[in-house]
Amino acid sequence: MDNADQCTAIIWRITNAINKMDGAYYFCGKKLGIKENTLTLLYAMADNQPHTQKQLSDDWLIPKTTINTIVQELLQEELITLLPVEHSKEKNIRLTAKGQQYTDNVLKDIRQAEHLALDKTLQKFSPEFIDAFEYFADTLYKEFNQRILK
């Protein structure tokens, strides 16, 4: 197998692994009765820090229109609140107490599974795999932006 074929095979394995991870979260959300992007937004908000719609869209690669729709739904359910941002039209989104409790409950089993999976992985592999994976993801995104998305 030449270098290009080897590279393609490795990329396929990584892409397949990412799709398995994405699918696992999708099926968890579905089982919990939560849309995939809503689960992602709650996951992002679980740090109990304020986030703008733009930040969430940029950091989690969810279209702004989708974020806006989810925000409207969560506002109606009183799971989030919007707070003004100084010198900006943007508003910070924060979980309400009800929203934090709901998010903690939704993520409880997901977090347990994540922790167990990470513990098992770290028993077999160096923690450096996380840095390498992040680097690859960031570099791939930059290359896509440079070559395809812009």
pLDDT digits (tens, 9 = 90+) for 100-109: 999 999 999 9
Q: How far apart are CA 87 and CA 76, in angstroms?
A: 26
Residue 85: the pLDDT is 87
Instruction: Spell out where 3-128 has E strands.
Output: 51-52, 80-84, 91-95
The C-alpha atoms of residue 79 and residue 93 are separated, in whole angstroms, by: 10
Can you give the pTM of this predicted structure? 0.86
Tell me which fold the domain 34-149 belongs to.
Arc Repressor Mutant, subunit A (1.10.10)
What pLDDT, on a 0 to 100 scale, did the predictor assign at position 139?
95
Angle at 74 between CA 72 and CA 78, to 5 degrees: 115
Check residue 136 and give its pLDDT.
95
- pLDDT for res 14: 95
pLDDT at 150: 82
Q: pLDDT band at 43, cuts 50/70/90? A: very high
The confidence score (pLDDT) of residue 87 equals: 86
Where do the domains of the chain lie? 34-149
- With CA atoms as reference, report the closest residue to 25 among 11, 7, 41, 10: 41
pLDDT score of 62 more than 80: yes
